[in-house]
Structure 1
Amino acid sequence: MQFPDDGNGDMLKAMAESGMDLNQVLALDFYLVFEDKTKAEQALAALLASEMDGEAELNLNDLDQWELIVCLHMLPDHAAITAKEKELDKFAKKFGGYNDGWGVMQHQDGDDEFADHDHHCDDHCGHSH
């Protein structure tokens, strides 16, 4: 399988090499970062009120920034992921934020080890801090 030579392509290649099936729907986490808590909360409210089919949670990250994690169940397709990143970046900018990449839990449905929703960055994570 060929992957474009960019960050998303590298991430998908690493996922494939780790044995993940890129032909099945996976839970992908997109990260939106905000400096201001009030604006981050407004973005979360707007996201929850939208037609988005997914989950969202707001956390304070290690850099004291407000991180809105948007979990979407979708095929890990390069074009679809790139388009979703652009869409979410445009959305975040309305609230003074920006898209900060995406990641995927290496262990998906049925794996009790990652039953909680904590994100653990590893070699297969496109989320940069």
Structure 2
Amino acid sequence: MQFPDDDNGKMLAAMADAGIDLTKALDVDFFLVFDDQRDAESAAEELTKSEMEGEMELHLNDDVGKWELIVCVNMVPDYSAIVEQEVELNSFAGEFGGATDGWGVMQHQEGDDEFADDEHECSDDCKH
């Protein structure tokens, strides 16, 4: 499978190399960051009212000192769909003084049974 040579393409290539089936829907987490708590809360409230399906989580990311709104969307992780969702969410976040800050998936989801990293040892840098 070929992917564009950008951050999204590299992430998808790494997922494919890890054995994740990119033809099946996965829970994709999109990260929106805000400097101000009220802006983040307003964005979360507005997103809740919208027609966007998915789950949300809002918390203060102590590592960067910003409010992080995680929007989880169940979707097939197709390159163009990921880019389209990022552009839409970035535009939305911008209305509240925020911006998107990447995306990711949990390593073990339904549909990626072949993926296993038995030699992995968690460290303070792990994101799961």
TM-score (norm 1): 0.85
- Looking at structure 2, the residues matched to 63 and 99 of structure 1 have their Cα atoms a distance apart, in angstroms, of 14
Query: Secondary structure, in 3 states, of the residue corresponding to 1:57?
Result: strand
Counterpart position of 2:83: 82
Query: By how many angstroms is 1:63 displaced?
Result: 1.1
Query: Secondary structure, in 3 states, of the residue corresponding to 1:92?
Result: helix
Q: Which runs of 5+ in 1 are unaligned?
A: 112-119, 123-129
Query: Secondary structure, in 3 states, of the residue corresponding to 1:108?
Result: coil
Counterpart position of 1:125: none
- Looking at structure 2, the residues matched to 46 and 100 of structure 1 have their Cα atoms a distance apart, in angstroms, of 19
RMSD of equivalent CA atoms:
1.5
Identity %, equivalent residues = 59
- Looking at structure 1, the residues matched to 70 and 47 of structure 2 have their Cα atoms a distance apart, in angstroms, of 11
Larger radius of gyration: 2
User: What CA deviation, in whole Å up to 9, does each residue of 1:84-117 have, x standing for no partner?
Assistant: 1000000000000000010110111399xxxxxx
Counterpart position of 1:101: 102
- Looking at structure 2, the residues matched to 53 and 15 of structure 1 have their Cα atoms a distance apart, in angstroms, of 24
User: What CA deviation, in whole Å up to 9, does each residue of 1:17-53 have, x standing for no partner?
Assistant: 0000000000000000000000100000000110011
Q: How many residues of Structure 1 are paired with residues of Structure 2 in the alignment?
A: 114
Query: Secondary structure, in 3 states, of the residue corresponding to 1:46?
Result: helix
- Kindly provide the amino acid, as one letter, of the partner of residue 3 in structure 1: F
- Kindly provide the amino acid, as one letter, of the partner of residue 48 in structure 1: T
Counterpart position of 2:118: none
Where do residues 1-129 of structure 1 align in structure 2 (5 Å cutoff)? Answer: 1-61=1-61, 62-109=63-110, 120-121=126-127
- Looking at structure 2, the residues matched to 77 and 109 of structure 1 have their Cα atoms a distance apart, in angstroms, of 17
Q: Which runs of 5+ in 2 are unaligned?
A: 114-125
- Kindly provide the amino acid, as one letter, of the partner of residue 21 in structure 1: D
Moved over 2 A (4+): none
